[in-house]
Amino acid sequence: MNLMKKLEETRKYIEGRLEGRSPVIGLILGSGLGDMADAVEDAVIIDYHDIPHFPVSTVPGHKGRLVIGLLEGKTVLVMQGRFHYYEGYSMEDVVYPIRVMKMLGIRSLFLTNAAGCVNKAWKPGDLMIIEDHIKLVAENPLRGSNPDALGERFFDMTSAYDKKLVKTAEKAAEAKGIEIRKGVYMLFTGPSFETPAEIRFARTAGADAVGMSTVPESIAASHMRMHTLGISCLTNMAAGILDQPLNHEEVLETGERVKKTFSALVREIIRTWPEEMLC
Ligand code: HPA
């Protein structure tokens, strides 16, 4: 079945379960932020397994569900659990939910993730607004025949991360008294963490953070001219910066430590999301 037909079937199924809700912001919760979905009020919860053509998470313990309801007075569609390229999904699978969001009429996308900190002046636990990204990974979610109904073959990436949303996020951080960084996120495929040499290379190339997600989603969103904001929780110093090995526990621990602050920031951003990007 072709992509647009599949998307149409997925859209119909989800719309059939929304009972009149019309989500205006798509929110993807990265590692450590999953609990935020519990704050969504008047929620409809849809398991990924039940959604026609939706990829299904392979990671044990990963919640895979859409939570649609009210957060800070706005109807949001939250992805509790995202799809990663390192799990074996194609990039096209990884971005399928973003396309579904667009089919549902959503024009704003809020991506969050956990990332390694490349910038030596920063520290684990810092939050970073993504201003731009670097993708040297050869794969691209738009490789192959272009779905013209979604966007153009060749499309702009200069405003992949909406400048107005960067301002919104900065103001929200200020309002909440949260120190915030701004920088460049570089994609690595994982699941291996990077080598120290790769991290030196990333820094030389202009990266402040490295991670294994977000970039495919942001590309697909740009293709569809959605307004995208990305925020990384820098959970650990990237490889080779400190004299110690990396491990997933540290990522989870830091995520847990800053969860409250990160959630407060996410909520304030949603509360103050620019009106014109909602309808
Ligand atoms: N590298 C890549 N992805 C990550 C890291 C890292 O150091 N920390 C959290 N996600």
Position 155 scores a pLDDT of 97
Q: Which of 235, 250, 258 has most ligand 1 atoms within 8 Å of CB, for mutation?
A: 235
pLDDT of residue 58: 66
The residue assigned the tokens 């929200």 is: 172
CB atoms closer than 10 angstroms to residue 269: 25
Whether residue 248 lies in the annotated active site:
yes
pLDDT value for 59: 62
**Would you call 86 a catalytic residue per the annotation?**
yes
Distance of CA 29 to CAs 26, 76, 155, 207, Å? Answer: 10, 12, 26, 22
For 78, residues 6+ apart whose C-beta sits below 8 A from its C-beta are 27, 28, 29, 36, 37, 40, 66, 67, 68, 71
Q: What is the mean pLDDT of residues 246-259?
A: 90
> What pLDDT does residue 163 have?
98
pLDDT 10s digits, 237-251: 999 999 899 989 988
CB 203 within 8 A of CB 135: no
Q: Per DSSP, what are the bridge partners of residue 108? A: 25, 227
| C-alpha distances out from residue 265 to 77, 136, 179, Å | 18, 30, 10
DSSP β-bridge partners for residue 181: 128
The pLDDT tens digits for 12-55 are 999 999 999 999 999 999 877 888 899 999 999 999 999 999 99
Q: Is position 31 annotated as part of the catalytic site?
A: yes
- Residue spans of alpha helices (H) in the chain: 3-17, 91-103, 163-175, 196-205, 215-223, 248-271
Per-residue pLDDT tens digits for 83-108:
999 999 999 999 999 999 999 999 99
> Whose C-alpha lies nearest to ligand 1, atom 3?
211
Q: Is 49 a catalytic residue?
A: no
In angstroms, what is the span from residue 113 Cα to ligand 1's centroid?
Answer: 9
Does ligand 1 lie within 6 Å of residue 214's CB atom? no
Centre of ligand 1 from the C-alpha of residue 164, in Å = 27
The one catalytic residue among 236, 237, 238, 277: 236
Any ligand 1 atom below 6 A from CB of 194: yes
Q: How far is the CA of 245 from the centre of ligand 1 (A)?
A: 12
Does 61 score more than 60 pLDDT? Answer: no
Query: In this predicted structure, what is the pLDDT of residue 243?
Result: 87
Give the model's confidence band at 1: pLDDT under 50 very low, under 70 low, under 90 confident, else very high.
Answer: confident
Distance 193 CA to ligand 1 centre (A): 6
The mean of the pLDDT values for the chain is 95
CATH number of 3-277, picked from 3.40.640.10, 1.10.10.10, 3.40.50.1580, 2.70.98.10: 3.40.50.1580
Q: Tell me the percentage of the chain whose pLDDT exceeds 70.
A: 98
pLDDT at 277: 96
Residue 72 has pLDDT above 90, yes or no: yes
The model's pLDDT over 142-187, given as tens digits with 9 standing for 90+, comes to: 999 999 999 999 999 999 999 999 999 999 999 999 999 999 999 9
Q: Is 146 considered catalytic here?
A: no
What number does the ligand 1 atom closest to the CA of 236 have?
A: 8
Tokens of 266: 């996410």
User: Which ligand 1 atom is at minimum distance from the Cα of 212?
Assistant: 3
